[in-house]
Amino acid sequence: MEYTSLNNGVRIPVVGYGTWQVSPQEAYTSVRSALDAGYRHIDTAAAYENEAEVGQAIADSGIRREEVFLTTKLWNAVRGYEETLQAAKESMEKLRVEYLDLYLIHWPNPAPHRHRWKEANAESWKAMEELHESGAIRAIGISNFEVRHIETLLESAKVVPHVNQIRLFAGEQQRQLVAYCRNKGMVTEAYSPLGVGGILSNELIERIAEETKRTPAQVALRYNLQKGHVVLPKSVHRARMEENLRLFDFELDREQMIRLDALPNTISATRNPDEVPF
């Protein structure tokens, strides 16, 4: 496994196991399989409703807590200083851990707080900053935030987010947002790096897979790694979990990267965070 460093020195594995749309019933077995396969970075969220199963899987794995980089997220229903302190505490209890490696605000402008999202985010961020300062959370960040949301947060923030987790895949690169995050020192994490599976049958990706003697998934993930993103693929199948980790014994050449850079988004448009109905 390779690592990158956040702007506070915390090291994060560049490939993580995502648990979005992994049911509570599947989560325990899937996370145990992922850990057995070699993953040391697990990404969950309060909204996924599988934190308890994820935590149990980590506890039962026999792997030392400090060897697993664990992320969870604050859900949209929760905003405010005290409310965020309580939500983080509840997530840690469900996950059976005494600290989190990374805690993210899941969406910037949720429906329940749309009338005052700027103030709501500032209140929650203050709580997260204090949890970070106390050592309860090693790094704090955001997810699905666009430039306008980040700039608003930074008006009151003492700590610049360490991470922005956003939708990124070959065909959906969000170049302006990524450049802004890099300029601010944030690591970008790619969720849905396989385009929810939709890009695996893309003709260009299949062609490059043949050229490199790799699978389409490996090409798609390697592309994101070479763009400098942490990737969070998800699969409940052990063979694919292992395949998604085998990314460090090959590189895409410059010409292949240029061809992939030119791909259009043929999957679906990324949601406008100001219009999500949740």
Retrieve residue 218's tokens.
């490996």
DSSP H/E element including 104: strand 102-105
Retrieve residue 1's tokens.
Answer: 């496994």
**What's the CA gap between 266 and 268, in Å, rounded?**
6
Residues 262 and 146: their CA atoms lie apart, in Å, by 22
Phi–psi pair at 7, nearest 5 degrees = -75, 0
Using CB atoms within 10 A of its CB, is residue 121 exposed (0-12), middle (13-18) or buried (19+)? buried
CB 167 within 8 A of CB 198: no
Residue 61 burial class via C-beta count within 10 angstroms: exposed 0-12, middle 13-18, buried 19 and up:
middle
DSSP for 213-243, please give it.
Answer: TS-HHHHHHHHHHHTT-EEE---SSHHHHHH
Secondary structure tally for the chain: helices H, strands E: 10, 10
The residues assigned a catalytic role are: 48
Q: Is residue 270 classed as helix, strand or coil in its secondary structure?
A: coil
CB-CB neighbours of 75 under 10 Å: 20
